[in-house]
Amino acid sequence: MNLLNTLELNRLIGYMDALRWSLNGCNYVTWFDAKELKLEDTKIDIQALIKLAYPQTKVENATFSESSSLHMVETINGFIGRVNPYDRDKNLADSKKRNLTTGFWNNLSKCIDYQNAKIIEYIPQGYNINDPLNNFVFSGFTFLIINQEQKLCLVIHGSSSD
């Protein structure tokens, strides 16, 4: 296993950075990150993947849950759906949400085929400010998208806090 630095990953990270600025509210901030790993074996150690991508993560204080692409999409769309709650024009806010989620999934699908992948949700336990995958105060998510056919794992993370 090794970390990758591809053009598609850099585009996704750039989009996530722009998304972060779009989602920041008047009393909270949002973070996003993504790491891509090349898989070499058919046997996958989830904890080793997380530790390679985020060495400071406290995997011993977390649980891992097999998930579905539908759950991942709903979770992330809900997270992105917090776009500027102070928009007075509801149609504009709905349009922003659709555009932001569509752009996110388009960029993500260029990195990995998430619809035909194994999805693992990383769920941190407790609060540890030094853990880069902590969900912070408001909400957050971390998913491992493992596509054996492509021999890739993409770890995506988002969180928000005041």
Q: How confident is the model at residue 121 (pLDDT cuts 50, 70, 90)?
A: very high
Structure tokens at 30: 């949002």
Give how far Cα 72 sits from Cα of 78, 132, 143, Å. 10, 20, 7
- Could you report the per-residue pLDDT of 52-61, keeping only the tens digit for each? 998 988 888 7
The answer, yes or no, to whether residue 79 has pLDDT greater than 70, is: yes
Residue 145 pLDDT = 97
What's the mean per-residue pLDDT of the chain? 84
Specify the pLDDT at position 93.
67
pLDDT bin (cut points 50, 70, 90) of residue 149 is very high
Q: What ranges make up the beta strands (E) of the chain?
A: 2-4, 29-38, 62-67, 118-124, 139-147, 152-161
Give mean pLDDT, residues 143-156. 96
Q: Which of 8-17, 39-48, 51-60, 79-88 has the lowest mean pLDDT?
A: 79-88
Does residue 119 register a pLDDT over 70? yes
**Backbone φ and ψ of 32, nearest 5°:** -135, 150
Domains of the chain: 2-161 (3.40.1000.50)
Query: 7 pLDDT exceeds 90?
Result: yes
125, two tokens: 């336990």
Mean pLDDT for 76-100 is: 69
pLDDT band at 138 (very low <50, low <70, confident <90, very high): low
